[in-house]
Amino acid sequence: MNQAPKGIQDWIYSLESSATKLWIRWILGSLFLLGLAALYLFTEARNFSNPEAMDMAQLGRNLAMGRGYTTRMIRPLSFKLYRERAAERQVSQAGLLQQPHPDLHNPPVYPVMLAGLFKVLPDSMRFGLPANITTQRPWPEMMITALNFGWLAVGAVLVFRLGRRLFDPAVGWMAAAVYGGTELFWRFSSNGLATPFLMVLVLLLADILTRLDETGTELAPGVVPPIVRPFRLAALAGAVIGVGFLTRYAFGWLLVPAVLWMLVSHVRRIGVSLVCILVFVLVTGPWVGRNYHLSGRLLGSAYSAMASGTETFPESRLERHLKEPKQMPDLTEMRVKFSVNGADMLRGAIPKLGGNWITFFFIAGLMLPFRNPRLRRLRWFCVGGLGMLFCVEAMGKTHWSTLVPDVNGQNQMVLLSPLVFLFGTSLFFSLLESTEYGHAIFRSMVVGGTWCVLSLPLLSTILPPRTYPLVEPTYRPDIVRELCGYVDPGELMMSDVPWSVAWYGDRDCIWLPLWVRDESGEDFFAINDFERRVAALYISPFTAEAPLRQVGTKDFVWGRFYFDALLRRNLPTGFPLFYAYEGSAGAGHLFLADKKRW
């Protein structure tokens, strides 16, 4: 029976026990991480610069406010699919754009998570902007960043637990510290993306697979293991991959290396594989069915990522189609896209995998076999997953990845970086054990110094000078909020940055169609005259910069419109929005309305 320490010697003895040392390490590590997170959050984190982050955030807020899974950012392609599906179901198409538009592009888990966050926040933290927008971030973005920092901390704990179980506590501590000290992960968290949560799912999947591996090797050779535990673990693996798919569709491709791993590694290979696939289908089936019911596509308008970035559909052209395109990319165009993006990733993404130099230890470790077959199989799952996500990223990459390099929702290979860090750290300690240091303190100094070197990008980021939060000139929350304030909540806006209008302005906003006026029907008037009256048009500096690369191309339409309206004060004949607000013109923001609203 344990007794409470009575004297000073008992207290000293209790402090030297392994359990107490572990608690002290966790407390000190947690305090250090909280202090670092607070410093980063208030001095270095910037406003959202990723369209996906703003899109997800406004979806979560709509859910929290009881609007259902509807979006204020309306993609013309999404509306096209919704309208065509309504015709197939013999539902009236009149006034479809007048109603709240269901989101057909994003999976639901992360927006639902954000909805839970917004549900407990007061209105001031759902919509509020700081008094000084140049030095402070909007409160809603800070709260989302804090939530993602929580997932980052959960990931560090899981890295430690997995490293301690597969290797030893030292590897677990170091891998967790490297994971928590990787600056790229902090940027993902502060930019409002679901990547920290998805990396937690990868760690859970790896833990489940290793435990499933044990059920096939812990018995004597030739003995078939019991059926309940492996099937339960396979079902958990399918559920985790299903939740990942419902967070980001590309995550679902990890089902392929997971099932191949089961087929190769487990005694009950057929049974556990089928259970994993069945549970994945059960988890994802209702949502995929909902998409098909509303749009006629299993993934809604998200399929456009495969064809975007080809010669037929450069940049965002496919998502802005109001009608069925006359042609789709052929096999040659898709092969060219894969080759170009793949070559670019081999030059940049692979060397920078995970945003930490520990990756080079992982790559070097591939040349050295593990004695433990369980570790060998897990490492090959990691390599197979990287190969699969490499192909998915190369095929699904669009021009959005160039807006915010590395820190974007199309960076898929980064999801497996926690496992890369674990195996890289294990090789580091293997090399460390082969060196004599004379005293344990020197070994500790080497380990600590190595962590400092690996975390230099993060440590140098939080040092002065301070980074200001504004993402200029594209996104100015105060200007967007002011302009949207001139439009009533029930009216429709049109913009080149509808994600910004939906998030900062909380107004229905449709993306710019392909043309201002054109006989094809892919134009402004097709929406304004036949679907829903456009009350205001907002064009940001995002378009002002585009003509530098679009002059002479068919994508220069709105760039020419922007310069004609802002500089020449000239609008196309019959264009109904001819009242220009001059208050934001000096900052490069063009706002045209149907009447003088200011």
**Calpha distance 298→296 (Å, rounded):** 7
Which pLDDT score, from 0 to 100, does residue 549 have?
Answer: 56
With a cut of 80, say whether residue 22 has pLDDT above it: no
> What would the mean pLDDT of 34-52 be, rounded to a whole number?
83
Inform me whether the pLDDT recorded for 230 exceeds 70: yes
Domain ranges of the chain: 6-69+108-298+330-457
Model confidence pLDDT, tens digit, residues 119-172: 998 877 888 888 888 888 898 999 999 999 999 999 999 999 999 999 999 999
Q: From the DSSP assignment, how many helices (H) and strands (E) are in the chain?
A: 27, 8
- Average pLDDT value over all residues in the chain: 87
> Is the pLDDT assigned to residue 276 strictly greater than 80?
yes
| Tens digit of each residue's pLDDT (9 = 90 or more) over 533-556 | 999 999 998 887 665 555 555 667
Distance CA 523, CA 509 (A): 15
Separation in Å, CA 198 to CA 282, 289, 405, 424: 20, 23, 19, 20
Which pLDDT score is estimated for 51?
92
pLDDT for res 1: 45
pLDDT of res. 75 = 95
* Per-residue pLDDT band at 216 (split at 50, 70, 90): low
CA distance 400 to 306: 13
User: What pLDDT shows up at residue 535?
Assistant: 96
pLDDT digits (tens, 9 = 90+) for 458-506: 888 887 787 788 887 788 899 999 999 999 999 999 999 999 999 999 9
Is a pLDDT exceeding 90 seen at residue 226?
no
What is the C-alpha end-to-end distance of the chain, expressed in Å?
77
Length of the chain: 598
Please state which of the ranges 180-184, 191-195, 350-354, 456-460 shows the lowest mean pLDDT. 350-354
Q: Is the pLDDT of residue 565 over 60?
A: yes
**pLDDT at site 266:** 78
**pLDDT of 34 strictly over 90:** no
Least confident of 31-45, 79-93, 410-424: 31-45
Distance CA 327, CA 307 (A): 11
Q: What percent of the chain has pLDDT over 90?
A: 56
Among 211-225, 236-250, 398-412, 490-504, the least confident range? 211-225
In this prediction, residue 222 has a pLDDT band, given cuts at 50, 70 and 90, of low
Give the Cα separation of 187 and 103 in Å (integer): 26
Confidence of residue 109 (pLDDT cuts 50, 70, 90): very high
Beta strand pairing call for 590-593 and 579-580: antiparallel
| Segment 423-440, tens digit of pLDDT | 999 999 998 887 777 677
pLDDT tens digits, one per residue of 503-537: 999 999 999 999 998 888 889 999 999 999 999 99
| DSSP secondary structure, 346-386, as one string | HHTTTTTGGGSTTHHHHHHHTTS--SSHHHHHHHHHHHHHH
Residues of the chain with pLDDT > 70, as a percent, come to 92
Q: Counting beta carbons within 10 angstroms of the beta carbon of residue 206, is it exposed (0 to 12), middle (13 to 18) or buried (19 or more)?
A: buried
Contact 404, 49 (CB under 8 A): yes
Provide mean pLDDT across the span 207-218.
83
- Residue 250, C-beta contacts closer than 8 angstroms, at least 6 positions apart: 389, 392, 393, 396, 412
Q: What are phi and psi of 23, to 5 degrees?
A: -65, -40
Predicted local confidence at residue 550, as pLDDT: 57
Q: What is the pLDDT of residue 426?
A: 94
**pLDDT by residue (tens digit) across 285-330?**
999 999 999 999 999 999 888 888 888 888 888 999 998 787 888 8
> How far apart, in whole angstroms, are the C-alpha atoms of residue 158 and residue 367?
26
d(CA 461, CA 40) in angstroms, rounded, equals 8
493 within 8 A of 59, measured Cβ to Cβ: no
